[in-house]
Amino acid sequence: MNWSDLLQWEGSPLSQKAQEYEQQAQAVTNASEDLSSRASALSGSGQTVTAVQQSLRKSVEDMRKQAEGLHSLATISGDAAKGADEIGNAARTLDREAEDMSFKIGADGSVDYVGKKAGSLIGGTQIMTNMAAVADTVSLIKFEADELVKEIQKNIAAVESGGKPQTSGGGVSRLDRMKLPPKGASPDEVAKWWSSLTDAEKKEMVRRHSREIGNLDGVEGTWRDKANRKNLEEDLAAEQEKLKNLQKATGGGARMTPAEAAEMNGVLGRIKAMNSIKNTLDRENQDGVNRQLLCYDASNGDVRAAVAQGDVDTAQHIGVLVPGMYSNVADNLDYYDDVSTRIRQGAEKHSDGQSVAMVTYMNYRAPQSIPEVTQSSYADEGAKGLAGFLNGLDASREHGAGDAHITPIGHSYGSTTLGKALTQVNDGVVDDFVMAGSPGAGVQDVSEMHVPKGHAYVGAAPYMWDVVQGAGPDSSFGKNPDTMPGFKHITGFTGRATSPLPPIAMHSSYFNKGSKPLDDMASIVAGKEPK
């Protein structure tokens, strides 16, 4: 699509054509009604009269179909007129704005600076920034122009084959639809906006704004996955390049300063975490179970992620596993993906053939030391993101395949994070939840959580084997869910210790393969009461 052509786009010829189609449709409709009246008025009997009546009725039906086709062409032309006006006006406006900034947009859409040479580095940088913005807008306008043409062609083909066109509708302009929601938009607002886009527009948004789309609560999991995989590949390549440059600068690490050593360790740690994500995603090639990278963030020095098994966009049941202390992407994402596999497989066994997806949520910074685990601030911060994620899951389903049964499971410090998050989720989002080995529920009373009454579950091993339970101060960690009214109890005895230290011997045993607590959790994820 040439830029010079787009500058000439306007909707008036198409609007006129739409009026002509409507007039023709009305004329055919009037003629069919007249013919129908004649057929009804035809009296008499015999084969000749019957044959004439049948012929007239067929003609009436053919004329009605012709009128419908003309109405459809009028609709197509009207929508095309609106699109052409919008795109043409946007192109002409941008062309004027570009000229004011001393840019020339070529016939092919290329952008050149034709003004005076910048007098400073800052000035030069501003010119480059403005040029990039103009080029990006040119690209967007051309993209939507191509999409409009494709839409018109598709709709005309549909009418020619006897179908009906799909109208753009919604009252939102094409170019406005392609703008990111404002910061602070709710997951429901995001989901409503995202559902208004065509698949081609979604693909283009991922290409343009993968960083935003990948972690935007309310966007479908399929598209978050596409964006985050792109981001992961880019970040891994960048960190590997950093490592190569560091090794070159330090003679392979032989003469590093303390600052260079710290930088090297940071790079190596991020590479390890990113490879851990890649390896976990690649498991889909081994077990045949689809993986989705629903969250990915390496912007704060560490690497965080949430990986789903199954399809969160269509699954009838979704479990969300929230690990606790010492959990991090680099060291144990693979282990928690194994746990998610066990829960998912168990839930599928209990689900009566309904589909199950399971999310390993490691998109918050869990405590990594004893001093850190005594602080509730990590749970406070993690709860905000977790609540947004859960709200986003629900919102994307409400504007997509329909409601899903959502069950988060919090273990250890993750249960406190979950409890605080459940005070922030919208009503109707979480259907059930489970806490296991919890130092505190994050609340003083179960009623503070936005979860239906009777749908809170807790698992607790005998206290001599798991002293973590209720260990956090009530004021900051919340009260012990094991003794809190309103919680139902799943099996607490894990059957096998996973630590040689008696006080915490069973603290991590709730997820043991084949254990009763694990089966109870799987039942709850499947929407069934544990037996």
Tell me: the pLDDT tens digits for 355-412? 999 999 999 999 999 999 999 999 999 999 999 999 999 999 999 999 999 999 999 9
Parallel/antiparallel/unpaired status of strands 405-411 and 433-436: parallel
Do 157 and 268 share a structural domain? Answer: no
Instruction: Say which CATH number the domain at 462 has.
Output: 3.40.50.1820
Do 244 and 130 share a structural domain? Answer: no
Q: Is residue 180 part of a domain?
A: no
pLDDT in tens, 370-380: 999 999 999 99
Helices (H), 255-313: 258-282, 284-287
Do 148 and 228 share a structural domain? Answer: no
Nearest to 343 by CA among 179, 168, 490: 490
Mean pLDDT score, 148-168: 88
Q: Is residue 277 part of a domain?
A: yes
Q: DSSP label at 483? A: G
Q: Is residue 283 part of a domain?
A: yes
Q: Is residue 346 part of a domain?
A: yes
**What's residue 381's pLDDT?**
98
How far apart CA 515 and CA 529 sit, in angstroms, is: 17
Query: Could you please report the per-residue DSSP string of 284-335?
Result: HHHH---EEEEEEE-TTSS-EEEEEES-TTT-SEEEEEE--TT--HHHHHHH
**What's residue 171's pLDDT?**
63
Q: Which of 142, 163, 184 is the last residue of a domain?
A: 163
Q: Tell the burial category of 131 from Cβ atoms under 10 Å away from its Cβ (0-12, 13-18, 19+).
A: middle
Question: How far is CA 465 from its chain centroid?
Answer: 40
Q: Tell the burial category of 468 from Cβ atoms under 10 Å away from its Cβ (0-12, 13-18, 19+).
A: buried
What is the number of structural domains in the chain?
Answer: 2
Q: Which of 115, 131, 163 is the last residue of a domain?
A: 163
Amino acid, res. 500: P
Q: Is residue 208 part of a domain?
A: no
Do 299 and 419 share a structural domain? Answer: yes
Do 110 and 231 share a structural domain? Answer: no
Are 511 and 490 in contact by the 8 Å Cβ rule? The answer is no
Instruction: Give the model's confidence band at 301: pLDDT under 50 very low, under 70 low, under 90 confident, else very high.
Output: confident
Do 110 and 259 share a structural domain? Answer: no
Instruction: Give the model's confidence band at 117: pLDDT under 50 very low, under 70 low, under 90 confident, else very high.
Output: confident
pLDDT in tens, 75-91: 999 999 999 999 999 99
Q: Is residue 9 part of a domain?
A: yes
Do 159 and 231 share a structural domain? Answer: no
Of the chain, the percentage scoring pLDDT greater than 90 comes to: 82
Indicate the range of 112-126, 149-163, 334-348 predicted with least confidence. Answer: 112-126
Instruction: Give the model's confidence band at 235: pLDDT under 50 very low, under 70 low, under 90 confident, else very high.
Output: very high
Instruction: Give the model's confidence band at 23: pLDDT under 50 very low, under 70 low, under 90 confident, else very high.
Output: very high
Nearest to 64 by CA among 102, 112, 30: 30
Do 293 and 399 share a structural domain? Answer: yes
- Domain range enclosing 70: 3-163
**What's residue 170's pLDDT?**
55
pLDDT, mean over the chain:
94
Q: Which of 113, 130, 163 is the last residue of a domain?
A: 163
Give pTM, 2 decimals: 0.89
Do 244 and 143 share a structural domain? Answer: no
* pLDDT of 272 higher than 90: yes
Do 520 and 440 share a structural domain? Answer: yes
Best-predicted range by mean pLDDT (151-155, 157-161, 356-360): 356-360
Do 254 and 106 share a structural domain? Answer: no
Q: Is residue 278 part of a domain?
A: yes
Q: Is residue 210 part of a domain?
A: no
Do 229 and 155 share a structural domain? Answer: no
